[in-house]
Structure formats: structure tokens, C-alpha cells
Amino acid sequence: MTQSSAPDHFASETLRLIGPDPENWVVERPGLDHNVVVVGGGQTGAAFAFALRRAGIGKVSVIDRAPDEARAGVWTTYARMNRLRTPKTLAGPEAGLPALSFQAWYEARHGEAAYAQIERAGREDWAAYLAWYREFLGITVRYGTTLERIEPQGDHFRLHLAVRQGETLERRVETARKIVLGNGVAGNGRPNVEGPLAALPRSHFAHTSDAIDFASLRGKSVAVIGAAASAFDAAATALEAGAADVHLFSRRASLAAVPVNRARAYPGAYENYPALPDALRWRQALRFRRAGSTPPADAVARATRFDNFHLHTGTQWKEATVDDARVRAWVDGGSFAFDFVIAGTGYAVDLHARPELADVADHVLLWRDRYTAQETERDEGLGAHPYLGDALEYLEKTPGAAPYLKHIHVFNPAAFVSRGLPVGDVPSMKRDIPAVVRRISEDLFLDDLEAHEARMTADVPADFDVSHYEQRVVR
């Protein structure tokens, strides 16, 4: 057996041992195209497709706006780290089946010793693993498909889609009973670009979520705003591409270096976090916000090894304009001129920034609607997060006004305050995918309870007749 075939062999044996996928048990509803539509074809979409299949839920469609697999998700597009930021040991999309795990895939190709030597998965290795996972499990993603509008329609949704095939763009409407928003870091909001950066033309500015032509920055002077992981990844990538110099600006006097979330990574806190009182969940989220998002030490070292990397701490941009084809920035302590600016400023949760949510955003319960923090603990950014239910579903701001919201499940970082993790990343998969799938299964079952009652009380043929025992009956 070759190394390349080993992952398929062990995974195939695992699937054989757990038995075939259950048949689709969901009651067919005429005129409905899908039971579930998962928005986002990256690791979240693939994991949900498999989990729903194993739950016997059919008519599941995974859509992604990327034109093809190579440009879907973050790992081959705007993720620029060399290694993932999460430990290699965390459970991922394998759904409790070790043979489908990254470890099994990696060891089959490189050996147990090689796996033991790595601390975290390499980004390109992780992308290759996910490609294998999708192909091996036969998960179909409808690429080139953008969700433009979610239109509530009684007990289901009309999904307005833009489907691109080559140069052809077709708009169509499909119907679905359930929606899972697995659409990434900006899935309930937008890139956080405000203040002086918002006035810069796109020819001189990009957010880290953009496709950046780093080769064009060779010999150029580059500014990076922000000091979290994506900012350092962008700075290092620019330097490796031959930038003349890179200046990274951080508002904090020193880099955030304390990963406070690790204090609640033990199973008790991880599994039971959604049951915590609102006040405690809020304080935990606030603690993270105030401590700051920490870049991995290797991401910092990747940039600081360059002599032409310059770190400015405790500084904030006051004004920025384009002057003589260069960006002139006025910053605490002086002014600078750059050829290009990259914002590693993260994302803002803002449901009204998402056009597909236009029909539902006003009705969604937010944390600021549910919880009033003390004066010293207020935070507008956290307050804008949706207050989600136990299955990461939207809840109504006004009871009875939008009952359909419970059928939209949020599997992206907007769930952070409710769930305590950057949902959609690897750490959230083990706990939160099963929670969503269980609720989807329950809702689809109870919504057609009459049909299921008839099925459960239907006549069942006997396994045997009286001839199997009549000779031993005492007369």
C-alpha cells in the first residue's frame, strides 16, 4: 500500500465499520427544493454536509460564492500564516471518527514521527487535508453561487441566488426549510475599516480579507495597521515578497501576549459554556476584548527577523490622504509616507451590513437587547453580536414577530459572545456542529409529527408465525 492510498484505506474501513449512511427520513414537502442549505463551502460546509448525512437528513445543499474549490475558504486565499493558530490535537471535522482526522491523514503521508514533530498543522497541509476530506466523502459544493437575499415565506425561505458559470450570471430562487450560515469571519458583518483608513482609495489600501497582490509590493514601503495575527501575517508576507520596508502600527503600548481564552479550554468550561449566566459570558467576552487578540509567537518572529520591519506601539493614525501617489499618514509622534496600506483591523459584527440579511436583521435579538452591562463593562462591539439560542439559532427581538428566525443557524464568529469561541474555527467544531445538527433533526421531525406518528404506528409484519413454537406449547 502506498502512502497516498493509506488515508483512503483506513478511512474506508472506518466507514465500513460504522455502516452505511441512513436513508433520508425527512418528510418530502412538495415545492421545497432543500431541507437544509449551508452557506459556505469551506471546512464548515464540508463538516456539516457529512454530519447531516450521518443524521439521515437528505436534500442538503452546500453553496459557496467562490468560482471553484481552489478559491473557496480561507486557506488558499487570504489566510497567510505558515501554520494554523490552533493546536494540532483539537478535534476538527472528523465527527468523532479518528480515521477521518488530520492526524490520520498526515501520518499516513508522512509517518507518526513527522506528526510528533509538528506543533501545529501547516496551512497548506490543512488545505490539502480538507480537499481530501471533501473528495473522499463525496461532498458536493455548488461553487459560483452567492446568496443575495433570505426571504422568509411562512414555514420556509425563498433564497435569492446569483449563480455564475464562466461569464454567465443567472439569478434564481430556491426554497429551503433550514439555513446554516457558515460563511466566515464577516458572515454577520463587515471588515472593520473606519476612521482615516475609510477615506483611502482602494488603489492604495486593502484589508487583510482582500486578495492582495504582494508581488506588486516589491520595493515598496508598506504600512500595516493592527497587531493581531492577520496583521503580522500580512507584514511578513509583504517582507518575504521583497517590500522595501514594512511599518506595523499598534494602538497598544505592548503587543497582546496573554491568550486569556486558554483559561477556559478544559472540558468542563468548553462543554458547558453555553449554559453560563449571561453576565458571566459577557465578562468572559469582555476580558478577551480587553486583553486583545494575540498573534502566535512564530507569526511575530516571522516579521521581526527582517531588519526592514519597524514596529510602532502605542500609536494611532489620526489622518491619511493620498499625496503625489503616496499615502501620507499623520500618526501619534509624526508623519509618514507609504506606497500601500494594509488594514489588519479585524471585523465588525453588523447584521445590516449583509444584504442577504436585509429582510431579517431588524428582528434579530442582539446582546444589547438582552443584557445591560454595568457602566464599567459596556462594549458597543460586543453588544452588536446576535444573542443566539442553544443551537446557535437567531432569536426574536419581539416574541412572535419573526418565528422563522429559529431556522437560521449562525456558524460564524458572530456567535462569539454566546458561545465563547470564534465559531467556525476548529475549536468550535466538536461541540457546536452536533448541537446544530441535533436541533435541525428535531425541528424537521416535529414539524411533520403527524406524518412521523403515522409512520411509527404503521403495521409491522411479524418476524415469525406460530409454526416456530407451536410444538412446544403446553396443552
Whether residue 176 sits in one domain with residue 32: yes
Nearest to 283, CA basis, from 377, 348, 185, 180: 377
Amino acid at 99: A
Residue-wise pLDDT tens digits, 135-148? 999 999 999 999 99
Tens of pLDDT, residues 210-261: 999 999 999 999 999 999 999 999 999 999 999 999 999 999 999 999 999 9
Domain-embedded: residue 229 = yes
Between the alpha carbon of residue 129 and those of residues 77, 92, 97, 100, 122, the distances in Å are 16, 11, 15, 9, 10
Is the alpha carbon torsion for 153, 155, 161, 165 positive or negative?
negative
Contacts of 108 (CB under 8 A, 6+ apart): 3, 6, 7, 10
Judgement on whether residues 377 and 424 belong to the same structural domain of the protein: yes
- Please give the residue range of the domain that contains residue 253: 193-257+294-345
Within-domain flag for 262: no
38 and 97 part of one domain? yes
128: its cell numbers: 490539502
Measured CA to CA, the distance from residue 179 to residue 243 in angstroms comes to: 43
| 218 vs 252: CA distance, rounded Å | 29
What is the 8-class DSSP label of residue 386?
A: B
Residue the block writes with cell 414577530: 401
Overall domain count for the chain: 2
Q: Which secondary structure element, helix H or strand E, spans residue 354, and what is its range? A: none
| Alpha-carbon span 434 to 416, nearest angstrom | 17
Specify whether 118 is located in the same domain as 209. no
Contact in structure between 368 and 417 (CB atoms under 8 Å): no
**What pLDDT sits at residue 449?**
97
Q: Rounding to the nearest 10 degrees, give the CA dihedral for residues 30, 31, 36, 41.
A: 140
Any domain includes 458: no
Is 393 a member of any domain?
Answer: yes
Report the pLDDT value the prediction gives residue 5, as an integer from 0 to 100: 55
Whether 381 and 418 share a structural domain: yes
Write out the H or E segment, with its range, that includes residue 169: strand 168-181
d(CA 74, CA 115): 23
Residues 220 and 304 in one domain: yes
Claim to verify: residue 441 and residue 312 sit in the same structural domain:
no
The values of phi and psi at residue 201, to 5°, are -70, 150
- Output the domain CATH number for residue 392: 3.50.50.60
Contact (Cβ atoms closer than 8 angstroms) between residue 102 and residue 70: no
Q: pLDDT for 398-446, tens place per residue?
A: 999 999 999 999 999 999 999 999 899 999 999 999 999 999 999 999 9
Answer yes or no: is 274 within a domain.
no
For residues 182 and 201, state if they share a domain.
no
Q: Do 389 and 327 reside in the same domain of the chain?
A: no
In a domain, 465, yes or no: no
Please tell me whether residues 83 and 208 are part of one structural domain: no
Nearest to 370 by CA among 345, 398, 402: 398
Cα angle 11, 14, 15; round to 5: 90
Q: Is 53 in contact with 21 (CB distance < 8 Å)?
A: yes
Contact 57, 21 (CB under 8 A): no
Compute the Cα dihedral for 78, 84, 86, 89 and give only its sign: positive
466 domain residue, yes or no: no
Looking at the structure, do residues 181 and 96 belong to the same domain, yes or no?
yes
Contacts of 97 (CB under 8 A, 6+ apart): 11, 14, 18
Instruction: Dig out the grid coordinates for 185 from the structure.
Output: 469571519
Each residue's pLDDT tens digit in the chain (475 positions)?
A: 444 455 578 899 999 999 999 999 999 999 999 999 999 999 999 999 999 999 999 999 999 999 998 888 888 888 899 999 999 999 999 999 999 999 999 999 999 999 999 999 999 999 999 999 999 999 999 999 999 999 999 999 999 999 998 889 999 999 999 999 999 989 999 999 989 999 899 999 999 999 999 999 999 999 999 999 999 999 999 999 999 999 999 999 999 999 999 999 999 999 999 999 999 999 999 999 999 999 999 999 999 999 999 999 999 999 999 998 999 999 987 899 999 999 999 999 999 999 999 999 999 999 999 999 999 999 999 999 999 999 999 999 999 999 999 999 999 999 999 999 989 999 999 999 999 999 999 999 999 999 999 999 999 999 999 999 999 999 8
pTM, whole model, 2 decimals?
0.94
Total residue count of the chain as it appears in this document: 475
Q: Does residue 464 form part of some domain?
A: no
Q: Are residues 331 and 435 in the same domain?
A: no
